[in-house]
Structure 1
């Protein structure tokens, strides 16, 4: 005799939860944009959109590297310090030209990422501990290099990079968009991307199957460091000064928030690049809407905290499904 079990409502709930996890950030971004326009029609003016893109571009760059690190079941708390460190060296080398200054900043970002990756891959130090030490030490080193004071930057090309637009879109946003495209191709279309996801899903099994776990981990942290350094260069160009004491503060938290809201689970094994882009835009839009309507920063932080908690809950369900 065959027994029948009614699973219709359960299947509907599972399907709804899956749709929410997969597409929730895009729906939330669209709804929030409609609300923002409804509250203030000037929000869609090109001048305001450019401002939002200027502000979100550095966060997106850092979030892309963070997404790769989280995909390996890691975390990189040093990105804010890397921004400060790269910002501190830019004025020192601008006398030799823009290219040497940018190159030195990127090399410092790569070196910081290599140190963090080596601590995780070879010394097997917990990522949060390894990168926390770099966060503290890197910030202090940046302030020492810069003389613990803000330094103005007058190099025209760098200032243009931080303020000019192309086809109405800030050049900073174009750079961030290209990096997002390359990151997506790296994750979805390369052997390295598949190895990264596999390591995040099960590091021990990946090691036993012969994957170059250490090399992949170090490379991921190097990429994160380089993207953070690039964000630091753009921040210097946009602000026309190098201020390591303040630039990059809390950027690691902003990046983690964008990644988690975008649907990449903290448990690793998956990287959602497009979701990360949407997450960064979503968090920037929330901040912009609340700020434009004179909502106190404290309430903004409470709203962001609630969103983070909900996003982490959703990502944990995905990771255990």
Structure 2
């Protein structure tokens, strides 16, 4: 028997042999396999799946998940979690229309447009700094620290808008969500830009190496001189900033801001996308493009179920199942 055959056959103590399947290959390529299966199913079964309008809608929907998932991946890489991303989206989305419909912005439309993008993102960054400070300096568990803003952030957004739906007509702002470049959605380009920049930061900068070191072994990183607290704050700040940008895109797509609905359950989608993309919940790994792949899978699962008449509640169960499966494959890969 050749050495290659010995690796795939397991002698059972009798005259026969038993073929063993290499599950490590499945666990290492599970995301790609899942994407191929979902795409094939939709091409065959789902009506109008390849219609340009359907593709545009899916890209628009997946963009927000992907942007938040990239930020969530950084937080998870430190060994943390961020439950406040949906609330940050709601807050940023509520602020933008208030700014560009204000008397000052109406008198200075170009300045108002810039402020309606910059100010909400800056506020989102401050939210991330708050989360990072709670985790790093007050030693509050990440799930508890971010739960604070998970509750209060949406409440602040509702107070700012008096709980009312804000509708508007602003073509320049709406371009964030509905614009196209060479027939491809603008937010698709934005996702690619963000992914490339964050990938470069993780893989080519000192901060990126420190980020992975903190998640891999925080005590060893601290003893090696890594500024653990600042690195953690940085991860939460980036995550919140990207969440704020995602909130602006949602508002731009709908030409309306509903603080009660924007970002609902986004934390589940973002965590699922990050884990499916290969992020380890214990930290130490930040697969940025894996998070994009995970976001595509999450969105396609949601779309597939709804397009084939399955209730949205079942989609939630499916997402939970995806997370469980991804975590199981991570454990299988370790063994």
TM-score by length of 2: 0.89
Cα deviation, residue 16, structure 1: 3.0
Match of 1:56 in 2: 62
Cα deviation, residue 189, structure 1: 1.6
**Does residue 122 of the first structure (1) align with residue 137 of the second (2)?**
yes
Partner deviation per Cα, 1:123-172 (whole Å, 9 max, x = no partner): 11110000001111111111111111111122220112211211221111
Distance in 2 (alpha carbons) for counterparts of 1:261 and 1:143 = 32
Distance 1:190 1:238, change over 3 A: same
Match of 1:141 in 2: 156
Cα RMSD (Å): 1.9
**Does residue 266 of the first structure (1) align with residue 272 of the second (2)?**
no
Match of 2:216 in 1: 201
Is 2:65–2:266's contact at 8 Å kept on the other side of the alignment? yes
Match of 1:38 in 2: 44
Cα deviation, residue 298, structure 1: 2.9
Is 1:54–1:172's contact at 8 Å kept on the other side of the alignment? yes
Partner deviation per Cα, 1:101-143 (whole Å, 9 max, x = no partner): 1111011110000000011111111100000011111111111
Range 30-39 or range 90-99, more displaced: 90-99
Match of 2:297 in 1: 282
1:143-292 aligned within 5 A:
143-292=158-307
Partner residue of 1:93 out of 93, 96, 99: 99
TM-score by length of 1: 0.93
Is 2:269–2:319's contact at 8 Å kept on the other side of the alignment? no
Distance in 2 (alpha carbons) for counterparts of 1:217 and 1:15 = 40
Distance in 1 (alpha carbons) for counterparts of 2:256 and 2:316 = 27
> Which stretches in structure 2 are left out of the alignment for 5+ residues?
1-5, 11-17, 106-111
Distance in 2 (alpha carbons) for counterparts of 1:77 and 1:304 = 16
Match of 2:53 in 1: 47
Distance in 1 (alpha carbons) for counterparts of 2:9 and 2:186 = 49
Match of 1:3 in 2: none
**Does residue 22 of the first structure (1) align with residue 37 of the second (2)?**
no
Match of 2:3 in 1: none
- Secondary structure of the 2:147 match is helix
Distance in 2 (alpha carbons) for counterparts of 1:15 and 1:190 = 39
- Secondary structure of the 2:208 match is helix
Partner residue of 1:77 out of 83, 89, 94: 83
Partner deviation per Cα, 1:48-71 (whole Å, 9 max, x = no partner): 111100111111111000000000
Match of 2:13 in 1: none
Distance in 2 (alpha carbons) for counterparts of 1:167 and 1:14 = 49
Distance 1:101 1:13, change over 3 A: farther
